Structure 1
Amino acid sequence: MKWPIILRKIHGHSMMPVLPPGTYVWGTRAFKKLTIGDTIIFFHEGKEKIKRISEVKNTKLFVLGDHAEASTDSRTFGWIEQSTVIAKLIWPHAPKSRAENIDSNLAG
């Protein structure tokens, strides 16, 4: 069974200053629609990534990091399929005491 809510820790710099390294984020797997401006967690080349949706075309998404100079995103790897999306961010912070045992790396 997959939980509908997931917790991840930011490790990269691509979403700064909004989501600096060390920030915990909550995401929901129970989303119906993805729109421009949504921040998502998705799989790319076997790793989880977090980016903001810049464009939507049918089932494809163009995603960008907030800190362009530090981001590897759709400008490099092109459009991604919506089927690669794991979760849509719903909350950008979790208290460390509740999340300190989470050992899931989230590449920026």
Structure 2
Amino acid sequence: MPQTQYDITQQPNDKVKWLVDVRSRQVWQKCMTVGGAWGYSSAMEDSSRLISFAGIKRMLADVTVRNMSLLLNVGPDRHGVISQPVAHLLQQTGEWLKLRSEAMIAVDMID
């Protein structure tokens, strides 16, 4: 089971403080939220207040080279509905991953 990395401080421009070296032999989990809150917030309705698509791509690349998994929280509303801006962001990410999945999966530890 992956260990959770608890330092998830998000800094300006989606720069994240990392505690894990590149190519760590331990499996860690990076926990992030798209809108700054772990539950629903009004930020989920405003795409300018969400993490950028470029930020998600950078995060995925960073966790991949560090042998990490990414838990990306989306914070649905009280009815379990994900807002349109968040759904669009997830669709963009899914399309990007579909085109690059072979490269993401092929990353392996180098001795």
Q: Please, what TM-score do these two structures have when normalized by structure 1?
A: 0.25
Higher relative contact order (CA 8 A, sep 6+): 1
Q: Please, what TM-score do these two structures have when normalized by structure 2?
A: 0.24
Q: 1 or 2, which has the higher strand percentage?
A: 1
**Higher Cα radius of gyration:** 2
Q: 1 or 2, which has the higher helix percentage?
A: 2
